Structure 1
Amino acid sequence: MKTSHNVSPLAPLSVAIAAMFTLAAPAVLAADAASGTVAFKTFSSPVKYAYLVRGPHEFIPNQTVSRIYLSSSDVGAKIKACQTLSCADRALTDGAMVDYGDARHLDYALRLNGERAQYSGSTDADAFKLTTNKPDHLAGKVHIDDAAAGGGKVDADFDLTVMNTFKSVR
């Protein structure tokens, strides 16, 4: 008995494409996550997006800093396209930048209302309660409250992987 099979010559290609998307799906679905608020005086902004980058400390060139961007808008593509840390900083117009590292003083800056309200200050590692602390992955909470001194306030939960590593500040 002779059996005939009608198999398209494109079948192996479609199987390969389906396998590729199946393998890639977990990476696409495993997006970085963040929530919280950033406030300064009468301005506040929800944290809807967050990004983690690594680069040289601006004033201590041999020291590396991890910087978390907490934003109300999706600026990930702009940060990813940058070649320098200062370029990534300019992408943020509504949210906070918070440095994390082993330095005694960690810098942070708030930019709210399209950068019309700005504040910068410093905090220390006690502002962070981390559940994951790896060179390429930070997860936990950050709490900064300088409101009593006329400064800003940052309350956010995050789970982030490094999206870009910069070799220079400028």
Structure 2
Amino acid sequence: MRKSRQAIAFAALIASLAGICAAAAAESAKGTVTYQSKSGPIVVNVKHAYLVKGPDVVSGKTIRRVVISVAYVAEAIRKCERMMCSDGGIGEGMTVDLDAGPMLNYWFVANDQRVQFSGVTKPDSLKLTADAADHVAGKWDLDAHTGGGPVIHIEFDAPLVKEIKGKM
């Protein structure tokens, strides 16, 4: 009886550790976003990716927002009650809005948000390998430097970390 309890406890421990590892891997991003500022190039090496669902500020329609950041901001996103704070307060990284219309809306920040750029692009620059309501993953290659924007070369795996209902 004692051995079976130990086996059950051990199996539960292994399962919980596997879940933690899978969740950590699923919040991953890698690659760079490079932006040419007035003082020189800024290179942001991204590490984390999160998916947030909620109402678009303009249309009110439910959209999916991918938050890609250098810092771990999952807890800040989970505490957010409005789409206006769904970026988790990132200082370096970007967001991209899916489902907001025929184009992708994106926002890039660096140097603790002292450098910012907002843009739109055709969706074909984003190649999704997972596209579900609760999980988005893929590769994004975009060169927007001719329009004053960033050059993006990233891969990400973003699980749903927050769904915001009815509040913009």
TM above 0.5, yes or no, is: yes
Q: Which runs of 4+ in 1 moved over 4 A?
A: 14-17
Q: What whole-Å deviation, never above 9, does each CA across 1:51-95 have from its counterpart, x for those lacking one?
A: 11111111111x221111111111121112212221222521111
Partner of residue 25, structure 1? 17
Q: CA deviation at 1:22?
A: 2.3
Offset at residue 153 of structure 1 (A): 2.3
Considering only aligned residues, what root-mean-square deviation do their CA atoms show, in Å?
Answer: 2.2
Match of 1:87 in 2: 85
Q: How does 1:10-159 map to 2 (within 5 A)?
A: 12=5, 17-30=9-22, 31=24, 32=26, 33-41=28-36, 42-61=41-60, 63-101=61-99, 103-159=101-157
Instruction: Say whether 1:166 aligns with 2:164.
Output: yes
Tell me, in whole angstroms, the C-alpha distance in 1 between the residues paired with 2:126 and 2:12.
Answer: 38
Aligned residues: 161
- Helix, strand or coil: the match of 1:167? coil
How far apart in 2 are the matches of 1:151 and 1:56? 26
Q: 1:84 to 1:18 in 2, by over 3 A?
A: farther
The 8 Å contact of residues 73 and 88 in structure 2, kept in 1 or not, is answered as no
CA contact (8 A) 1:34 1:47 kept: yes
Please say which structure displays the higher CA radius of gyration: 1
- State how far apart, in whole Å, the 1-side matches of 2:138 and 2:103 are: 19
Q: TM-score, normalised by structure 2?
A: 0.84
Retained in 2: the 8 A contact 1:57–1:169?
Answer: no
Q: Percent identity?
A: 31
Q: Which runs of 5+ in 2 are unaligned?
A: none
- Note the C-alpha offset of 1:16: 5.3
Q: Check the 8 A contact 1:106/1:125 in 2, yes or no.
A: yes
2: CA distance, partners of 1:149 / 1:143? 15
